[in-house]
Amino acid sequence: MNWPTCVARWSTSTPTYGAASWSCRSMVRRTTTDGRAADVMRSRNGYTLLEMIVVVALLGLAAALLVPNIAGLSRMETQAAVRRLVSDIGFAQADAMANQSYRRIQFLENGSGYALLRVDESSFAEPFDAGSADYVDDPSGTYSDQGRYVVDFVVDERYDGVTLDGIETDGGADRITFGPLGGTVSAIGMPAGAGRIVVRGADESFEVLVTPMTGKLTVRKIEG
């Protein structure tokens, strides 16, 4: 039979003469060789079941926090791409007004991304040529160390699996151009119609709508 007991030990050392220290032990009743019962002091070491459960629960929580949620990560990448596109369209519009000139969002082939370009009356109607285009300077200078304002979802790992499709702009062009007044234009002095870009990720898609003339942007989540 076991029962806990606490034993007081008195210390005679200075300066704590007479101080008592308490120690709890378990009493174990054993039978000696001559049949008599003897009480033996045994220390209680190890962990309790409750302590083990708490440790296991904490380890499980740590694992859940450290292991990335793949589905959640994909959604974050898609939403980050939408925010980047909206921000860059707004920047192109503001830059056109600030410089009283034309700025263009030129969508790349296969929906891989877009570039921000400077255009003028002489180059407005020319087809896009990646080698000779007049790129807006990228403040971060992250694209091939050339400072060109190009956002490529294939190259940039922050937007893994994101593509642009369903691009519909005035006249079927693969671009959106802002004039000196901040409105969208399809030709010099001619306002453009509405624009639509679909940002598609692995788990969700968003539609970015460009309002005619004003260039106001609207974003909404779509199915499929």
What is the residue extent of each domain of the chain?
Answer: 2-61, 75-222
For the stretch 153-198, pLDDT in tens is: 988 888 988 999 888 887 667 999 999 999 999 999 899 988 999 9
**Range from 18-27, 46-55, 215-224 carrying the lowest mean pLDDT:** 18-27
Q: Give the dihedral of Cα atoms 41, 46, 50, 55; nearest 10 deg.
A: 160
Three-state SS for 87? helix
Q: Which fold has domain 75-222?
A: minor pseudopilin epsh fold (3.55.40)
Output the six-digit token pair for 67.
């292991």
Check residue 212 and give its pLDDT: 86
- pTM for the predicted model, two decimal places: 0.68
Question: What DSSP string describes 141-159?
Answer: --STTTTB-EEETTT-GGG
For the stretch 122-160, pLDDT in tens is: 999 999 999 999 999 887 655 555 678 999 998 888 898
pLDDT level of residue 34 (50, 70, 90 thresholds) = low
Place of tokens 């309790």: 48
